[in-house]
Amino acid sequence: MVYDTARTLAQELQNSEEYRRYHALKEAAMENDTTKTLIAEYHRLQFQAQAAAMQGKKDDALLEKLQKIGEVLQFDKNASAYLIAEYQMNRMLSDVYKILAEAIDVDLSALEA
């Protein structure tokens, strides 16, 4: 029953306007090999920065490189639109996770920024 409901939710997410927009913008951004490489590097650096922050560390060189790549990507309308849509999708998924966690009384305080 729970897995069936999860599959239904997954289908609802896949059919959502947010997902369709995200998917279309991702395809447009990834058509350009340079943009695709920059986005992959941006994601890699984001992950490293988040991991460092979770350990209480701050890597200024990493953050500066992340910022510079972000600035370059802002000037590419497809990349910029994709990253905004990606953020919105992640926000929606985070909200759904919070709703589920609250329903079963899971403490998410460690995840709050």
pLDDT band at 69 (very low <50, low <70, confident <90, very high): very high
CATH number of this structure's domain 12-105, picked from the four choices 3.30.1330.10, 3.40.50.1100, 3.30.390.50, 1.20.1500.10: 1.20.1500.10
pTM of the predicted model as reported, rounded to 2 decimal places: 0.85
Q: Which two tokens stand for residue 51?
A: 């991991």
For residue 109, give the DSSP letter: G
Query: Are 49 and 39 within 8 A, CB to CB?
Result: no
Q: Dump pLDDT digits (tens) for 75-94.
A: 999 999 999 999 999 999 99
Element (H, E) at 71: helix 60-74
